[in-house]
Amino acid sequence: MADVKVFWNVCFLVFVTGPVFTAVVDEHENFCSAGEIPCDDGTCVSTDKLCDGIADCADRSDERACGTSSDITLSLWSPDQHRKRRAANNCRTEEVACDDGTCVSRFSLCNGFADCPDRSDEKDCAVSDSNPLLSRLSAGRLRSKRQAAGKCRKNQWQCRDKSCISFDGKCDGIVDCPDGSDESHPLCRLEKCQYNWFRCTYGACVDGTAPCNGIQECADNSDELLPRCRNETDEIQGQFRCQNGDMIPAANHCDGVVDCADGSDETVRACAAKSCPSYLFQCAYGACVDQGANCDGKQDCADNSDESDELCNRISAVTTTTKRPQTGNCILPQYPANGGYAVQGAPYAKPGEAFPSVYLNVSCNPGYGVDGTNVLYCYDGFWNTEMPKCVRYCKLPPHPSVEYHCLLRGTAGVEGNRPCREFEPTGTVVRPECKAPNYYSAGILRFMQCIEGSWDYIAICTPECGRITPEGEFLIIDGRNAKRGELPWHAGIYTKLTMPYMQICGGSLVSTNVVISAAHCFWNDLQKKLPPTNYAVAVGKLYRPWNNPQDVDAQKSDVSDIRIPPRFQGSASNFQDDIALVILTTIIEYKTYVRPVCLDFDINFDRRQLQEGHIGKVAGWGLTAENGQASPVLKVVDLPYVKIEKCIAQSPPGFREYITSDKICAGYGNGTALCKGDSGGGLAFPESDRGTERFYLRGIVSTAPSNENLCNAYTLTSFTQVSKHEHFIKESLL
């Protein structure tokens, strides 16, 4: 019976430690999946095929050592025959390594069954934070058994705490040792990296693609803290910008002496890109100090890395333990209010725990941001800076009309500014500035301040409107000068029913996505209002053809909507309310040759501009003669305002009914007139605004008397008066 009991005990052991049988073969890489074991010949079979009486492996290795307890015991515990299933650090991602190096499923931890031959998966389960296997799960890389001094294999390297790691695991950017000694500055600072590799600040060598790829590959995160990763520089005109906004001389940062009040001039973030000459000593965080400064009894590096015990061979004996090392002078601080931090290489670490060296990444709760550097590090008890505060942040999204400049709090009388970020902490002061020359402000913009998560006000600038381009290309057209961009608000309305598109009307740009034109351009008496998909709009054009390559400043858009007053019925209503708002699908960007015309609905201002003889401007590609062709180049004509009584008196009797109550008139009647193709263009009058001449839209080209030709150049033109349609226009602009 004793033999039977032993057999069943052993069989039970076989069941719960099945993977152990897979290591009868020589030690080599195992490519079997989870739940499979390798045969001696390298093929894979299911774990439940072990010792089931059927040879599933071609070499029958799955049925060896199943006959007697002595055989089984030998297979299980003989150091000569039993091999680890996988080499240290090579367990699959779904597995963890036992203390003896065997790989078991991570779900085997603390499940009440001893899955590891040494039962290490069931150790210290009452306090999971001290379980070595659980620690390995979080360390980013699995480690082999900690062994006594001098007991590591030839292909292994011994950590300071006597644990063993793969020899190629040191100074590779990944913390393998429980105490982090494989990625320490004293060990790695003299490493020679290949030319195409990246050197971490403390000396480790990682792949050359590591910088700024969004993945931390250096233990100190220096590959992601480079200035080029942030697409910004901390040096401005010989000054270094501290994280709190202070300014110090650029030569004073990364010199080993803390000059910024927040210590941000002596951090990995500030010094990650530093490369020290051979005659200088490089601190663990990247600063350069005098050669010979190390181990001279004086602190020259801000983090004291030049005087570390390890560097200077003043290391005391480390006691071997199965729990996480609690030795070291770097005590984790309390979490910041409204935030927390993550410990690199030890995600389960808590405030109060001690480390020989440690790196912290500080983060804040939603709505809060780090005021200062978010990367802290400690080496041998010396912290690079105090724990930053989590403060309320103000959102500052980009605005098309304003440039925001965040002020720097200077020292020694030095002041400056920096580009603002989308989120700025409480206390930030912003100097807003209109984006000239396309936006302006009627008064001086005062500073903005972030107060407890909100700006005290938001600065907005007004689009530059109605300004004629001061300089432009001159072209001679039929003996008359025309300037590129003379009326930068003029728009061309094109029909898409022809290929290429053909210009049919004009319009005036009044906002980034609205053009004012004439309703009759989008109407016929049979179909009434035509669909917006029939039309396209171009601004910034000098030449009439849609795709003229010389129109380098042109911006084009399809039309999403056309809004016409409901009372407009074309000729049936005598073209009363002949106005249309064309809504563009593409936002127009204001530039030198593309700007809106001004709108002002003040009645008194309107009357002051519309005085007999006052000259307005209108542009168009209309007919160049009564029966001629459309002009290939945009023309601008000056027309005087004509009182309505005179306009009616000088118009043919058959045309007078079209001079409705919302019309004004302009023209000479001497051969200078508007013709077909000019409809929808804007009649604008100038006004001086604080020394700047601006043009205000007063009329929209509507109708003119015709004769047997295509155009009657000797009559006045009627315009739809813009001020009569104030509410209709504002409904679409708001």
Q: What is the pLDDT at residue 325?
A: 41
Specify the DSSP element, H or E, that contains 100.
none
The CATH superfamily holding the domain 479-584 is Trypsin-like serine proteases (2.40.10.10)
Q: What is the pLDDT at residue 640?
A: 92
Pairing mode, if any, of strands 448-451 and 682-689?
Answer: unpaired
Q: What is the pLDDT at residue 110?
A: 64
Closest CA to 29 of 82, 79, 88, 74: 88
Please list the ranges in the chain whose pLDDT falls under 50: 1-30, 67-89, 93, 126-149, 317-326, 411-414, 471-482, 625-627, 707-710
Count H helices and E strands in the chain, helices first. 9, 45
CB within 8 A of 607, min separation 6: which ones?
none
**109 vs 133, 134, 143, CA distance in Å?**
8, 8, 16
Please state, in angstroms and rounded to a whole number, the distance separating the CA atoms of residues 563 and 519. 8
Please state, in angstroms and rounded to a whole number, the distance separating the CA atoms of residues 145 and 162. 10
Sign of dihedral through CA atoms 525, 531, 534, 536?
Answer: positive
Please state, in angstroms and rounded to a whole number, the distance separating the CA atoms of residues 630 and 613. 28
Query: Other C-beta atoms within 10 Å of 536: how many?
Result: 20
Closest CA to 621 of 696, 548, 694, 720: 548
Q: What is the pLDDT at residue 615?
A: 93
**Same fold across 396-463 and 479-584:** no
Contact 593, 620 (CB under 8 A): no
Terminal Cα-to-Cα distance of the chain (whole angstroms): 95
Contact 130, 110 (CB under 8 A): no
Q: What is the pLDDT at residue 577?
A: 94
**502 vs 505, 508, 538, 621, CA distance in Å?**
9, 18, 11, 11
Q: What is the pLDDT at residue 545?
A: 95
Pairing mode, if any, of strands 239-241 and 235-236?
Answer: antiparallel
CATH number of this structure's domain 603-723: 2.40.10.10
Sign of dihedral through CA atoms 495, 501, 506, 510?
Answer: positive
Query: Other C-beta atoms within 10 Å of 484: how many?
Result: 23
Quote the DSSP letter at residue 146: B
Contact 406, 430 (CB under 8 A): yes
Please state, in angstroms and rounded to a whole number, the distance separating the CA atoms of residues 16 and 83. 17
Q: What is the pLDDT at residue 32?
A: 64
Q: What is the pLDDT at residue 426?
A: 85
pTM for this entry = 0.51
Quote the DSSP letter at residue 208: T
Helix 2-16 with 69-77: angle, nearest 10 deg = 40
Please state, in angstroms and rounded to a whole number, the distance separating the CA atoms of residues 117 and 100. 8
The full set of domain ranges for the chain reads: 2-146, 147-361+376-384, 396-463, 479-584, 603-723
CATH number of this structure's domain 396-463: 2.10.70
Please state, in angstroms and rounded to a whole number, the distance separating the CA atoms of residues 599 and 465. 8
Total number of residues shown for the chain: 734
Local structure of 441: helix, strand or coil: coil
Residue 551 CB-half CA count within 13 A: 21
Please state, in angstroms and rounded to a whole number, the distance separating the CA atoms of residues 498 and 536. 12
What is the residue-wise DSSP string for 561-630? EEE--TT--GGGGTTTT--EEEEESSPPPPBTTB-PPB----HHHHHHHS-TT-EEEEEE--BSSTTSPB
